[in-house]
Chain A
């Protein structure tokens, strides 16, 4: 069975602080994809990143960075120098590699950035 756990339900930090959102996953598949999505108050899911299980290189995109560690089944997301516009619910997710894959989402972390 596939499962994604986001243990942090809510996080609140002051603007310009760094913040890390944790994600732990379970899967029996040897090949899979991991994702992060952002959901602002408007409700639309905004795609942030997709990594496949073969690629454990960390990735940086501007103020965002992702740390994928297969040994601990974790895919953590760090926002550096947070801004108020980063306030949203963030979802970590997992998908199989087949052509008929569904995406399994975690329960989300609500991030609030205070001015």
Chain B
């Protein structure tokens, strides 16, 4: 148990739709990172937020966006869903000054049809 929760567990969407995935970080952790894990691959870094500001971004298009709230919750939004967006989405929270120390949630499995 890492103390990081994600919702929903599973989600099925249609191509072109929009989706919001949610993450609740450990209390006191002001950094949250999001990763996409396609089937058979390792997680790929999407972006990181620190105190409600984006603090780094991987090689993902702007239709992937995020929000972080003061209550240690955060969201990953994906617009104009594509079939290739089907993946496990993981969030991870980190204590201040130690973003290498990441506590992962159980993930949300998104299927786009």
Residues of A within 8 A of B (CB): 4, 33, 37, 42-45, 47, 50, 91, 93, 95-108
Contact = CB atoms under 8 A, between A and B. Distances in A.
Contacts of A43: 88, 106-107, 109
Interface stretch (B21-29, B68-76, B97-105): B97-105
Interface residues of B, number: 29
30 contacts: A42-B106, A43-B107, A44-B106, A44-B107, A50-B100, A93-B42, A95-B100, A96-B100, A97-B100, A98-B99, A99-B97, A99-B98, A100-B55, A100-B56, A101-B100, A102-B58, A102-B99, A103-B35, A103-B43, A103-B45, A103-B102, A104-B45, A105-B35, A105-B42, A105-B44, A107-B40, A107-B41, A107-B42, A108-B40, A108-B41
Contact of B101 (A42, A50, A91): A50
B93 interface: no
B42 A106 contact: yes
B90 interface: yes
A95 B92 CA distance: 14
A105 B106 contact: no
A45 B100 contact: no
Nearest to A104: B45
Given A43-B106, A99-B96, A103-B33, 4 more contacts: A43-B107, A45-B43, A103-B100, A105-B43
A102 B88 contact: no
Nearest to A108: B42
A100 B50 contact: yes
B109 to A, nearest CB: 7
B99 A99 contact: yes
B104 A44 contact: yes
A69 to B, nearest CB: 21
